[in-house]
A and B are shown apart, each in its own frame.
Chain A
Amino acid sequence: MAGKIDEFEFFLEKEWSDGFPVVTPTEERVQWMLKGTRRDSDAVIGRVPPAGEVATVRTIAIHALMAGCKPEYLPVVLGAVELIVREEFNMGGVQCTMHGVAPLMIVNGPYAHKIGLHGGNGCFGPGFRANATIGRAIRLMLLNLGGGIPGLASATVFSSPIRYTACLAENSEYSPWESLAVSRGYSPDDNVISSVMVESPRLHFDDVSTEPERLLRGIADSMTSTGSWHMWFRSGIAVAMSPQHAKLCADAGMSRADTHSRLCELAGRTQGNLKRGGNWRPERARAMDADPDDDNCFIKAVKDPATLQLFVAGGMGPITAVCHGWNDSSRPVHAKYEV
């Protein structure tokens, strides 16, 4: 402890605290963290909206340290910050919205494997340092540098557990398909982050289906609901199939692209169904080029197939995790990061 100030209380009392203790950022520890990158510590990576505080390599390293990262995680954190400050991702809108979505980081490539980013059993939850601390570092920056604090810039009604941390890998060991990044044209050797604004995952159980069509109809149903914002907006959405569910499709001859495209076709509801509750409005129907009086009109959950983030993750078992999305103003983003 330094002097009379209790460093744990000092950080826990900050308005940008996430409510948990942090690793105290001393100069010595920050220098240790900076060993994780060759980049100039004063290099500016971007401004974190809406407050617009500058994120330099050094400030990012400080937040990574506080979050509990190891130096070897720093390249992923740096790459993630570069992605989330992109204009088309509209991090500022998400920082201020009533909604509770967060930027989910899906990390592909050999470096993720090397540093222990987990994509298997329990990957959305606690117990995996790289997943927990890389995502937490991003959140601490969104709070401290961006000011996305409930009661200040953030109007979030509930927020969401996914706002504590949101970073995982694919289960490449057990996936029957190429990775999400490779499906976008990257090489398997590229280190890539894909990010999309989504809610916490909901779990779709199907221990019954023995062929893809029934399985995918069920998953598609979980991708829709009357109160989901993405039903009326061109939003990103994430679907993480367990290896077992993915294998069921692959064994029937379906490629990753086939599965992606079938989910886009199936996920939706008739307008009459969506009118029963939730956020249907005639203006929103017209914005989707739907006649508000046509109850049989099929409203797709995925308006643009490029915004569906389909990947394979999780452990063995008959479950797919579905993360609902937000709105038109945030486009999913992806890029290689420097290691």
Chain B
Amino acid sequence: MTSDLGFIDPTASKHRTKIAPAPRSMDLSNKVVGLLDNTKEQGDIILETVGAALRERYGVAKVIMHRKEFFSKPASGELIDAMAQQVQIAIAAVGG
């Protein structure tokens, strides 16, 4: 945290780590897509519409819907692990 600034920059914590986002697939054909419903009203309708469009227009093999416990809580580790096992691409929705 100390530097040649002459004072402390608390942005530069030794605990801070950068996590690179997963590579984005540019081809959806024959992929399994996971859709995460955040439980807000109508989020499921948006996701179902997106899922149908992905199958019809982009050749997605399968769409799997998942649902969080509550919209303003993060998805549980179990749910994230399950999605990571099942799907190749994940899409989250914000309803309301």
B15 interface contact, C-beta 8 A? yes
- A-contacting 9-mer, from B6-14, B24-32, B84-92: B6-14
Contact A25 B10 (CB under 8 A): yes
**B residues within 8 A CB of A26?**
6-8
- A-contacting 9-mer, from B49-57, B58-66, B68-76: B68-76
B22 interface contact, C-beta 8 A? no
**B residues within 8 A CB of A78?**
none
Q: How far, in angstroms, from A120 to B55 measured CA to CA in the complex? A: 63
A25: which of B7, B13, B15 is its contact (CB, 8 Å)?
A: B7
Q: How far, in angstroms, from A63 to B11 measured CA to CA in the complex? A: 11
Task: Given A25-B10, A27-B2, A62-B10, decide whether A50 and B74 contact each other with a Cβ distance below 8 A.
Answer: yes
A53: which of B5, B7, B8, B15 is its contact (CB, 8 Å)?
A: B15
CB distance from B91 to the nearest CB of A (A): 18
A329 interface contact, C-beta 8 A? yes
Contact B73 A329 (CB under 8 A): yes
**B residues within 8 A CB of A327?**
72
Q: How far, in angstroms, from A26 to B3 measured CA to CA in the complex? A: 11
Across chains A and B, the number of contacting residue pairs, with CB separation under 8 Å, is: 62
The range of chain A's interface size is 35 or more
**A residues within 8 A CB of B1?**
62
Contact A63 B10 (CB under 8 A): yes
**B residues within 8 A CB of A96?**
72
Chain B: which residue is nearest A330 at the CB level?
Answer: B72
A97 interface contact, C-beta 8 A? yes
Interface string of A20-31 (1 = CB under 8 A from B): 000011110010
Q: How far, in angstroms, from A328 to B11 measured CA to CA in the complex? A: 32
CB distance from B16 to the nearest CB of A (A): 6
Contact A144 B6 (CB under 8 A): no
CB distance from B24 to the nearest CB of A (A): 20
B15: which of A54, A62, A284 is its contact (CB, 8 Å)?
A: A54
CB distance from B3 to the nearest CB of A (A): 10
A243 interface contact, C-beta 8 A? no
Interface string of B33-57 (1 = CB under 8 A from A): 0000000010000000000000000
CB distance from B29 to the nearest CB of A (A): 33
Task: Given A53-B16, A54-B15, A59-B13, decide whether A30 and B72 contact each other with a Cβ distance below 8 A.
Answer: no
**B residues within 8 A CB of A10?**
5, 9
Most buried by B among A30, A50, A63: A30
The range of chain B's interface size is 10 to 19
Contact B7 A7 (CB under 8 A): yes
Contact A27 B8 (CB under 8 A): yes
B7: which of A16, A24, A54 is its contact (CB, 8 Å)?
A: A24
**B residues within 8 A CB of A94?**
72
Task: Given A24-B7, A27-B8, A281-B41, decide whether A93 and B73 contact each other with a Cβ distance below 8 A.
Answer: yes
**B residues within 8 A CB of A53?**
13, 15-16
Most buried by B among A3, A59, A330: A59
Contact B6 A328 (CB under 8 A): no
Q: How far, in angstroms, from A76 to B57 measured CA to CA in the complex? A: 57
Contact A59 B10 (CB under 8 A): yes
CB distance from B57 to the nearest CB of A (A): 29
Chain A: which residue is nearest B69 at the CB level?
Answer: A329
**A residues within 8 A CB of B10?**
25, 59, 62-63, 66, 144
In the complex, 7 of the A-B residue pairs with CB atoms within 8 angstroms, ordered by the A residue number, are A10-B9, A16-B11, A62-B10, A92-B73, A93-B74, A145-B13, A281-B41
* Besides A25-B8, A90-B72, A92-B73, 4 new A-B residue pairs in contact (Cβ under 8 A), listed by A number: A27-B2, A62-B10, A94-B72, A329-B71
List of 4 A-B pairs having minimum Cβ-Cβ separation, nearest first: A2-B6, A93-B72, A54-B15, A25-B8
